[in-house]
Amino acid sequence: MSRAIKIAPSVLAADFTRLGDEIRAVEQAGADWIHVDIMDGRFVPDISFGPDVVKAIKRSATKPLNVHLMIVEPERSLERYRDAGADHLLVQSEPGSTIHLHRVLSRVRELGCRPGVVIDPATPIAWIEHVLHLVDIILVMTVNPGFGGQAFLPEMLPKIAALRRLCDERGLGPHIEVDGGQDAKTVRSTVEAGADVIVSGTGIFGAPDYGKAIAAIRDAG
């Protein structure tokens, strides 16, 4: 199933001193979603944003907020991020984050958000195959999570392709989102493998012209 590519700039790479302006700029430049990485310093080494920053981003954004919870026990925070303005809530599949993945994804839908599940580079597809029917989005990390600006891991391409085949075989149509080292040079291979949502941080916010950067990624896909 062919889909138009969606571009989700990651605000982790934005200029935090002018965050509202940055959000408005990438939306005007053609962004489809705004990607927000939530890091707690436990599941991943770094700390990023909390609900108050998501709420501030929501005041400037008109596009959906694609919120990735890289945190321990996301079930304790779902309502707070929903109330802050998250449109999508993506949770990690690894037991180091939550041991009740089915329940958490079901709860995200109950709260009125689009549920997503995330797999890290070393995480096998088998860990999520029994919850695929619960999600609208599968996020495949193509770098190890926790820091921006890392290089794309091409060994993740077979995983993306296998996920797309599995979903097609089951008659499921979730978005397959890819995050990590994505720019105009790497996006073609990820889209050919089956991805249809591209997260890019430094590839967009690190470019002198956001519109040209987003157009180049879209054209390359």
37 is catalytic: yes
Tell whether 96 is in a known binding site.
no
Q: What share of the chain is helix, strand, coil (3-state, %, to 5)?
A: 40, 20, 40
Of 37, 120, 183, 196, the catalytic one is 37
Of 19, 72, 67, the residue nearest 45 (C-alpha): 72
Tell whether 20 is in a known binding site.
no
Tell whether 98 is in a known binding site.
no
Helix (H, G, I), strand (E, B) or coil at 142: coil
Tell whether 171 is in a known binding site.
no
Alpha-carbon distance 52 to 219, whole Å?
35
Q: Quick one: DSSP state of residue 93?
A: -
CA distances from 172 to 132, 135, 175 (A): 8, 9, 10
Tell whether 116 is in a known binding site.
no
State the chain's maximal CA–CA distance in angstroms.
46
Which pair of tokens denotes residue 88? 């999508």
Tell whether 202 is in a known binding site.
yes
183 is catalytic: no
Tell whether 221 is in a known binding site.
no
Tell whether 180 is in a known binding site.
yes
Of 32, 136, 179, 183, the catalytic one is 179
Tell whether 149 is in a known binding site.
yes
Tell whether 102 is in a known binding site.
no
Helix (H) or strand (E) holding 5: none
Report the residue count for the chain.
Answer: 221
Known binding residues for substrate: 10, 68, 146-149, 179-181, 201-202
Task: Report, as residue numbers or ranges, the catalytic residues.
Answer: 37, 179
Known binding residues: 10, 35, 37, 68, 146-149, 179-181, 201-202
Known binding residues for a divalent metal cation: 35, 37, 68, 179
